[in-house]
Amino acid sequence: MKLKIGLLFMLVLFTAGCSTEPNAMHTYDKTQVNDHLQEVDFDYELPEQVPFEVKSIETDTLVPDQPIFSVYFTGTNGEQMMLEVVNATLNAAKSNLFEEVKIGDRKGFFYENAQGARMLLWEKDEVHYQLKTIAGDTEALEDSQLIAIASTFK
């Protein structure tokens, strides 16, 4: 009898441990971001979901009257992600540092800078997006997670 109860207890613990979804996507208060970006005078998209529960969101328009802004997402477990959006023509140098990927029906690129940070870059309707993860107390987001986030933009 004790063996059966012990096995049942182990099964419950194992099932509970396996049921957490580390790659689960979470919604956040997108209106909070839009409210802070009311001065932005071009159409842009934001992710509908991110792969962590959002604790805080900060926005920065960087240079007033310029077509660029950043959004910093911080998760409840210390995850960090930054989105930069630019409404301008960008001339990217041809480089073997770019790795082409698919984001739904769009083409995107991963770029790795000299410090080893990987960024996902793509363009839609002449607006350029850069999504990068910031390694801190937690591990950086995986490439597949960045692509999943980019796929939710609306």
Residue 77, both tokens: 């477990």
In the predicted structure, residue 19 carries a pLDDT above the cut 50: no
104: Cβ contacts below 8 Å, ≥ 6 apart: 151
Sheet holding 118-124, edge to edge: 54-60, 68-75, 80-86, 127-133, 118-124, 106-112, 98-103
**Average pLDDT in the 74-91 region?**
88
107-110 CB contacts, 8 Å cutoff, 24+ apart? 108/147, 108/150, 110/143, 110/146
In the predicted structure, residue 45 carries a pLDDT above the cut 90: yes
The pLDDT score that the predictor gives to residue 95 is 56
In the predicted structure, residue 28 carries a pLDDT above the cut 70: yes
Residue whose structure tokens are 């991963």: 110
The pLDDT score that the predictor gives to residue 98 is 81
The SS3 of residue 30 is: helix
The pLDDT score that the predictor gives to residue 96 is 54
The pLDDT score that the predictor gives to residue 140 is 77
Looking at domain 22-150, which of 3.40.1720, 3.40.1800, 1.10.3470, 3.40.1000 is its CATH number? 3.40.1000
pTM: 0.75
Residue 73, both tokens: 């997402």
The residue extents of the domains of the chain are 22-150
The pLDDT score that the predictor gives to residue 154 is 87
Residue 7 sits at φ, ψ, to 5 deg, of -65, -40
Q: In the structure, what pLDDT confidence band is assigned to residue 90 with cuts at 50, 70 and 90?
A: low
The pLDDT score that the predictor gives to residue 136 is 65
Q: What is the pLDDT of residues 106-144, one digit of tens each?
A: 999 998 877 777 899 999 999 999 999 876 667 778 889
Q: What is the pLDDT of residues 56-81, one digit of tens each?
A: 999 998 776 789 999 999 999 989 99
